[in-house]
C-alpha cells in the first residue's frame, strides 16, 4: 500500500502547549500513516501524548511543527463526517435524547429525517441500547454513555474511527464489551480503527501497536513501554 492510499499521514508532527519556560511538548516529531481498514492501538501511560496525537489525526488540534494530511479523506469541513471520535469523557449533548445524540452527525450532514431515524435505531440496536432511545444522557450509566458514543460513530459510518481511552472509565468486563462493539462496528462499516489505551488487554485486541512515551511515537513492535 502506498501513501496515496493512506487515510492519514503525519509527518514530523509536534504539538507544544504553552510558551517559554511553561511550554509542554505533548507530541514530539511524530510521523505515522493510517491505512484504510487498519486496526491500531496507541499504547502509553497517562500524559504520554496519546490523546493529543488522536486529536491531531482527527484535525481537532493543529500541529505546532510538521503536517497532518488526509489523502484518503475529503477536505474540511466534510472531512468531519468521515472521522468518528469516541472520547474518554462523556461526549453526549445533555439536552438531546440518546436517539438524537446518535443521529447528530447525520443531522449535521443534512440527512433526511427518515433516514437518520432508521440509522440511529440500527446503530443503537447494534450496541444493545435500542430500548434507551428516548432517554437523556443523564439517565445513563457511564458504560451506556460510551456505548451511545460508539453507536453515534456506527450511525455516522465514517472511514476512520478514533477512540480515545474508551474504556478508561469502565470496569474490565464492560471495557471488553465496548471494544467488541467498536471492532464489530469498524468491521461493519469498513472503517480504520485507532484506539488509544494504557490497558494491555485492550491493546491486544488490535493488530498494530504504536507506543507513545513522553510525546514520542514508536511504531516498531520491539519497544515496549507498558509494564
Residues that bind another protein (CB under 8 A): 55, 58, 60-62, 77-78, 80-81, 85, 87, 89, 91-97, 100, 104-105, 107-110, 113, 136, 138, 152, 156
* 9 vs 26 by CB, closer to another protein: 26
* 1 vs 17 by CB, closer to another protein: 17
Nearest 10 degrees: Cα torsion 31, 84, 3, 44: 30
* 136 vs 226 by CB, closer to another protein: 136
Residue 134 CB, nearest distance to another protein (Å)?
11
Stated as kind and residue range, the H or E segment containing 212 is strand 208-213
Rounded Cα distance, 64 and 67, in Å: 9
Residue 124 CB, nearest distance to another protein (Å)?
16
* 23 vs 108 by CB, closer to another protein: 108
* 171 vs 180 by CB, closer to another protein: 171
Residue 91 CB, nearest distance to another protein (Å)?
5
Pairing between strand 192-197 and 39-43? parallel
The answer, yes or no, to whether the previous bond of 77 is cis (omega within 30 of 0) is yes
Please, is 134 exposed, middle or buried when counting C-beta atoms within 10 Å of its C-beta (0-12, 13-18, 19+)?
A: exposed
Residue 227 CB, nearest distance to another protein (Å)?
26
Residue 107 CB, nearest distance to another protein (Å)?
6
3-state helix, strand, coil in the chain (%, to 5): 40, 25, 35
Amino acid at each position: 500500500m502506498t501513501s496515496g492510499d493512506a487515510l492519514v499521514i503525519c509527518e514530523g508532527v509536534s504539538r507544544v502547549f504553552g510558551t517559554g519556560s511553561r511550554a509542554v511538548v505533548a507530541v514530539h516529531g511524530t510521523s505515522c500513516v493510517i491505512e484504510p481498514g487498519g486496526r491500531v492501538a496507541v499504547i502509553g501511560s497517562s500524559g504520554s501524548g496519546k490523546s493529543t496525537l488522536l486529536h491531531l489525526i482527527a484535525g481537532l488540534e493543529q500541529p505546532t511543527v510538521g503536517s497532518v494530511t488526509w489523502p484518503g479523506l475529503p477536505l474540511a469541513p466534510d472531512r468531519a463526517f468521515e472521522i468518528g471520535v469516541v472520547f474518554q469523557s462523556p461526549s453526549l449533548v445533555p439536552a438531546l435524547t440518546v436517539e438524537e445524540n446518535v443521529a447528530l452527525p447525520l443531522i449535521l450532514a443534512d440527512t433526511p429525517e427518515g433516514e437518520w431515524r432508521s440509522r440511529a435505531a440500527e446503530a443503537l440496536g447494534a450496541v444493545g441500547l435500542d430500548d434507551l432511545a428516548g432517554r437523556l444522557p443523564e439517565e445513563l450509566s457511564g458504560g451506556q454513555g460510551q456505548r451511545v458514543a460508539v453507536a453515534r460513530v456506527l450511525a455516522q459510518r465514517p472511514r476512520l474511527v478514533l477512540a480515545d481511552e474508551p474504556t478508561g472509565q469502565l470496569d474490565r468486563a464492560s471495557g471488553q464489551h465496548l471494544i467488541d462493539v467498536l471492532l464489530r462496528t469498524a468491521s461493519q462499516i469498513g472503517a480504520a480503527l485507532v484506539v488509544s489505551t494504557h490497558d494491555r488487554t485492550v491493546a491486544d485486541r488490535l493488530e498494530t501497536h504504536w507506543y507513545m512515551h513522553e510525546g514520542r511515537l514508536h511504531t516498531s513492535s520491539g519497544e515496549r513501554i507498558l509494564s
